[in-house]
Amino acid sequence: MRVAQLGSGTPEVAVVAGVHGDEPSGVRAVEQLLEERPSVERPVKLVIANERAIECGVRYLEEDLNRAFPGDPDAATHEGRLAHRLTDELADCLTFSMHSTQSHAEPFAIVDGVGDLTRRIVPQLPVSAMVETGNFADGRLFSTIETIEVECGLQGSERAIQNAHRLLRAFLTAVGVLPGDTVRTEVPVYQLTDVIDKQRAETYEVFVENFVEVETGETFAAADGIEQVADESFYPVLMSPYGYQDVFGYTADRIDVLTPPPAAD
Ligand SMILES: [Zn+2]
């Protein structure tokens, strides 16, 4: 874990990249910010989380870090111990955690619930949607730390790096670390309702777009050519053929639209 800071004093805001070692976009955005060293109006902590996994170019070494929180100093796995150290490091900080995905090119935010803070900040980020995990937050960073996660785009793509940089700048502006104004937009909110299980198979296919409603009776995926048909309509979220080992992704309901807060005078 690498920890840096811009500005002096005790930070109440933090940025985390590299929770997953094979998602370089957030790491690059943080490194770029550290090179630019912008002057800040309040201090911010910058953390590169799983350096060993990043060096190896893998999601994790022994256990998915974003399922390992709160962690334990005596945990059996590298990620279990790291989760504990990260929780310590981020305590009392509003945290912005950057990821990338195999499922969707457009940036979107993930939170565990819609609170005042997310209502205020997320409409100021360049995201096309916000996902509320509800009951599916187990072991994720925001189960212990107040966190807004963002998916910056497709893993390893140049666009995800550019998106990560824009998202990071927008977040730091929204919380008053960087000076200036943000662009405010309406953001639809989706709530996860279930996981979409994946049978053990050689090949997987997904036939639908994330955040586009799947109708009852529509074929949305296949495992070794065996089709999976929707019993009822749903919105697919974080869905991809090979992004996760055991699941295609999640079903979600569209529950709300966040409207931008009025701009401050
Ligand atoms: Zn990730």
pTM score, two decimals? 0.93
Residues 104 and 49 in one domain: yes
Residues 15 and 118 in one domain: yes
Q: Tally the domains of the chain.
A: 2
Residue 203 in contact with residue 224, Cβ under 8 Å?
yes
What's the domain range around 167?
A: 2-174
Residue 245 reports pLDDT greater than 90: no
Whole-number Å distance, alpha carbon 101 to ligand 1 midpoint, is 7
Residues 165 and 204 in one domain: no
Whole-number Å distance, alpha carbon 150 to ligand 1 midpoint, is 9
Whole-number Å distance, alpha carbon 149 to ligand 1 midpoint, is 9
% of the chain at pLDDT higher than 70 = 98
Residues 198 and 165 in one domain: no
Domain for residue 179, yes or no? no
Whole-number Å distance, alpha carbon 23 to ligand 1 midpoint, is 6
Report d(CA 40, CA 75) in Å as an integer. Answer: 37
> What angle in degrees, to the nearest 10, is found between the helix axes of 24-36 and 158-174?
60
Flag the least confident range among 26-40, 105-119, 229-243. 105-119
Whole-number Å distance, alpha carbon 218 to ligand 1 midpoint, is 29
Residue 115 reports pLDDT greater than 60: yes
167 — pLDDT class (breaks 50, 70, 90)? very high
Q: Report pLDDT digits (tens) over 60-99.
A: 999 999 999 999 999 999 999 999 999 999 999 999 999 9
Query: How many CB atoms within 10 Å of residue 40?
Result: 18
Residues 25 and 72 in one domain: yes
Whole-number Å distance, alpha carbon 264 to ligand 1 midpoint, is 33
Residues 71 and 143 in one domain: yes
> Residue 47 is part of a domain; what is its CATH number?
3.40.630.10
Whole-number Å distance, alpha carbon 162 to ligand 1 midpoint, is 17
* φ, ψ of residue 217 in degrees (nearest 5): 90, -5
Residues 90 and 123 in one domain: yes
Residue 53 exposure: Cα atoms within 13 Å on the Cβ side: 26
Residues 53 and 108 in one domain: yes
DSSP element (H, E) containing 190: strand 187-197
